[in-house]
Structures are given as structure tokens and as C-alpha cells.
Structure 1
Amino acid sequence: MPLRHVLLALFVVAIWGFNFVVIKLSVEALPPILAAALRFFCAALPAVFFVRPPKAPWWLVAGFGLAFGFALYSFLNLSIAWGMSAGLSSLVLQSQAFFTMALAFVILGERPRRMQVIGALIAFAGIAIIATERMAATALLPLGMTLMAAVSWGLANVLTKKAGRVNAVAFTVWGALAAPIPLLGLSLWVEGPQTVLSALAGFGWREMAIIAFLAYPATILAGAIWSWLLGQHPTSAVAPFTLLVPITGLLSGYLVFGETITLIEVGGGLLVIAGLIVTVIRGRASEPRVRFD
């Protein structure tokens, strides 16, 4: 990947790492599934009135929205509301890189290169070290729901890749449109109409700022850049960058909530970085350069 594309991927990593802190704030301020519904409602509207639909099959756009918006954030928001810390959530969710590679192999026939597999294994060892350090304080159900969120993200990545080189902003915005109604329906069913109405009645500037960050920088901007990168490069070359999200997620959790970072976690983080370096090494010197235009 060209250096400019690597820097774009790292920019997305920084946003998504801090995103977990803001998600935790959102589920403390609002019912968790309702928070996800408001996030994607704001991400889709009013943008859909100004952005043309992407040149991709409607089922791919809707499938991406349901996988990335409905499934991922239903599982993730509930897991954080039920006890997963912001830092540990950012860590466990990055198993999506491996689900992405596996699904891309099954659905798209993409075969990761040997160095990518080795790098992923090194990074996974780092994630396992950090998870072992933090797992004792985490219930099994929230952990399992975070893993389901990771599977959902992996599916969203593969659907994005299958869509090809479409307009990334249009794909993200119109995909987001598929999520709010199912999320709102799930919120009314799980959290109850009275809880939803009470939360909406008390919606203020703090809640608005939280949802605005989740909807625009974390969903539209970062999601559009990510979709564009997936359209330019093999899935197995892009997805491993998210293995750095636990680093920014753990740091954000420490700075905002005082979540501690131990020496063992630092060691695991260094392994994650080492795995990423190995993963993005070019397997072939003839890899074509892609212009950003």
C-alpha cells in the first residue's frame, strides 16, 4: 500500500479507538440499542438527500448496512452496557480481521499471502496476551456478544469488497439508511417503549454531542475512508490495520475513564504492532501503486 493510504488507515484507527470511549458514554446516557439507532439515523439523514445512491446492487448496500449498522452495534452496544470496558471491547472486536480473512476466502476466494497470515498470527498472540490480562473481570455473555459483533464487522468488510470500486461516501451513507428502523424496532422490543420515550424526552446537548461524534467522524468519515481503502486493495491487506485499534482504544479508556494499562498489556500491544508491520510488508515487489483521486 502507498504511504498515503497507510496514513489514511491509521487515521481511521485513531478515530475508531476513541469511538469506544464515546460508545461507553452513549450507553450510559441512553438505552444502548436506541443509542445505535440514533447514531445511524443521524449518519443517514439528511445526507441521503444530497448524496446519490452508490452504483452497487441494492442488496449489497442494504446487507452492508444491516451487518455494520444493525448487527455490529446491537451486539457491541449491549456488550459495553453489560460490563465490557471500552479498552477491552476495542481489543476483542479486532478479531474481525481474522473473520474478514476467513469470510473473504470463503465468499470471494481471496487467498491471504504467507506474510499476512504470519503477521496476523503474531498480532493475534498480542491480542491474546492482553485479553488474558483483562479477562478475569469480564462476564462471558458480554464477551460472546463482542465476538458476534466482530463476525458482523467481518461480513460488512467482505460485502464492501464485493461491491468493488463504488463511491465510498455514498456506499456508507446509503448503507447506514438500512440500520435505524431495525435498530429502533429492536430497541422498542428489548428496551421497551416507555424507556425509549423517556430517553428521547430527556435528550439534551450532551446526548446530541455524543451521537454527533458517533454519526459523523466515527461512522461517515471513517467508514467512507475504510470502504474506499477496501475498494482499492485486497481485503487481507486492509483489514489487519484494525489490529491497532486496541492500542488507541486502551489509551483512550485510560485517559477518559482511568482504565489501567499494565506492563503485560504494553507487551501485547507491541506484538500487535509487530504483527501489523509483518502483515503490510509487500509480498511482491510488483504490487501496483494506486492513486488517490
Structure 2
Amino acid sequence: MKPADVGLAVMVAVIWGLAFVASRIALDELSPVLMTALRFSIASVPCLFVPRPKVAWPILVATSFTLFLGQFLAQAYGIAHGVPVGLSSVIVQSQALFTIAFAVVAFGEWPTRMQAIGIAIAACGLLMICGTVGYDFGVAAFAVLMISPISFAIGNLLLRRAQDVPMFELSTWLCLVAAVPLLALALASDGVQPTWYALTHMSATVLVCMLIIGGVSTCIAYWLWGRLLRDYTAAQVAPFALLVPFVGSAASSIVFHETFGPLRLAGMLTVIGGIAVMLLSKRAQIQPKLA
């Protein structure tokens, strides 16, 4: 990779890591549904200037509802209900484990030996983290948060159906498709008056956080990441995502004084180690399904 593109990949990972902290701050004033709706509403503004990508509506909706709506709504719910920011960033990155597992079922892409080892390592780490559930956050919050990497993984596979499409156009329209039902859900679940009050009495800090989350982390960062994936192989780009949980955990420890017990810290490092083995191993071989 060119040095400039390496810098871009690192910058995107840092932005995504810091976005976890910004989300936690915004959730002090906004409900998870409203915060997620605002995220995608801001990110979808460029739809006013770019045409809809040539992707069938069912694929566009399914990809948006998994890759964006499901992933980030579950993530916001988990953080809002006590799951630490640093831990959340690690759990979300476990999507690599689920992506490989689902690819076996959907496309018959069997993992290599090293990828299978990485899956086993990451799974052990998740089990270690599960052993810490119930001390500072509930089982329900953790269960909902686990929807995030699963939705992320399904969205990754659906994204394959939208090949040869400009990434900026695709990402902004995916945001718009997610924003519409989220706004309706916010009005239905939070109420019209509480939603209006939250929007009109938003503090300057939360407003800045939402602009960062929606405009920078979602709109710009996903566009840059898509450009990198277009210009380089996934094996060259994907490992930079390993920086996200490290940035998120470090930033959370500074801003919120977040600490981790020995078992949880060991589980987080084990998950990241397993993901590293998966991403740095050779590409999975594609085997045809039996009739």
C-alpha cells in the first residue's frame, strides 16, 4: 500500500474507535433509537446531490437494515444499558468471526486451517467475556449487543450483491434507507413530544458528537474505507480494523476512566488475537456446495 493510503486506513480506524466514545456521550441525552436515527439522517444528506446507485431495492434495503440499522442500533442499545465502550468496540469487531462462519453456509467458502484456528481463539475470548456478564451490566444488554456483529456480518455478505457500484453513492443511500424507519421508530417508541424536546434542547457537546458520528465516522470514513477496499485486496485493508478496539478502549479509559478486570481484559485480547489470525491468514478457499 502507498504510504498515503496506509495513513488513510489508520485514520479511519482511529475515527471509528473515537466514534464509540462520541456515541456514549450522545447517549447521555438521546435514546438509542433517536441517536441512531440522527446518525444516519446526517450521513444521508449527500443523497440530495448523488443519484441512487443501480442496486435493486430488496438488496439495498436488506443491506441497509443489517449493515447499518441492525448493527448500530444494537450497538447503541448495549452502550446505553451499561456495556463498557471499550468492550463494545471489541464485541463489534468479532463480526469477522461471524462473517467467515456465515460465508460457509451462504457461499460454501470454507476457512483455511489458520482461519479455523483464529475462529476458535476468538470464540474462546467471547466465552471469557461472557463469564464477566452480570457484574456491571446485564445479560439482556450483552445479548442485544451481540446482534451488532451478527448484523454486521450478514451485511458484509449482502454487500457482495452490490458490486461495481460507486461506494460513496451506495453508502449514503444505505444511510437514507436506515434513517427513515429509525425516525419513525423513534417517534413511536419515545413519543413525538419527547423526541422534539430532545432535538430542540440538545447540548452543543452532543451536537458536535452527532456531527462527528454521522458526518465523519459514518459518511466520510465508510467512503474512504470503501475506496481502500476498491484499490487494494481485503487482506491488505482489513487488518487495519484491528486498531479500532484498541483506540476505543484507550479513549474510553481516558475519557470515562474505564477499567477492565483480569478475565475481561484477557477475553478482549483473546478475541482481538483470534481476529488477527483470521485476517492475516491466507484467503479462504471457495468450495462448491454439493447438490
1:237, CA displacement in angstroms?
8.4
Report the AA paired with residue 98 of structure 1: L
Q: Which deviations, in whole Å up to 9, do the C-alpha atoms of 1:174-217 show, x marking residues without a partner? A: 11010112001111121122210111221343232111111122
How many residues matched? Answer: 282
C-alpha contact 2:115 2:281 (8 A) present in aligned 1: no
C-alpha contact 1:100 1:239 (8 A) present in aligned 2: no
Unaligned 5+ segments in structure 1 are 285-293
Q: Which residue of the partner structure matches residue 36 of structure 1?
A: 36
1:278, CA displacement in angstroms?
2.7
1:268, CA displacement in angstroms?
4.3
Q: Which deviations, in whole Å up to 9, do the C-alpha atoms of 1:40-60 show, x marking residues without a partner? A: 111001x11222333333322
* Counterpart Cα distance in 2 of 1:78 and 1:194: 21
Report the AA paired with residue 212 of structure 1: L
Say if 1:70 and 1:282 are closer, same or farther in 2 by CA, change over 3 A. closer
Report the AA paired with residue 17 of structure 1: G
> 1:28-107 counterparts in 2 under 5 A?
28-45=28-45, 47-107=46-106
TM-score of the two chains, using structure 2 as the length reference: 0.83
Unaligned 5+ segments in structure 2 are 284-291
Report the AA paired with residue 202 of structure 1: H
C-alpha contact 2:97 2:275 (8 A) present in aligned 1: no
Residues 1:182 and 2:200 aligned together = no
> 1:205-220 counterparts in 2 under 5 A?
205-220=204-219
SS of 2:94's partner is helix
Deviates more, 1:199-208 or 1:242-251: 242-251
Q: Which deviations, in whole Å up to 9, do the C-alpha atoms of 1:204-240 show, x marking residues without a partner? A: 4323211111112211122224445566788798767
Q: Which residue of the partner structure matches residue 247 of structure 1?
A: 246
Say if 1:136 and 1:9 are closer, same or farther in 2 by CA, change over 3 A. farther
Say if 1:32 and 1:92 are closer, same or farther in 2 by CA, change over 3 A. same
* Counterpart Cα distance in 1 of 2:258 and 2:96: 25
Say if 1:234 and 1:142 are closer, same or farther in 2 by CA, change over 3 A. farther
Q: RMSD between aligned alpha carbons?
A: 2.9
Q: Which deviations, in whole Å up to 9, do the C-alpha atoms of 1:74-94 show, x marking residues without a partner? A: 222222222222122222223
Indicate the percent of aligned positions where both proteins have the same amino acid. Answer: 33
Say if 1:262 and 1:139 are closer, same or farther in 2 by CA, change over 3 A. closer
C-alpha contact 1:167 1:228 (8 A) present in aligned 2: no
* Counterpart Cα distance in 2 of 1:125 and 1:243: 18
Deviates more, 1:110-119 or 1:152-161: 110-119
Report the AA paired with residue 95 of structure 2: Q
Q: Which residue of the partner structure matches residue 191 of structure 1?
A: 190
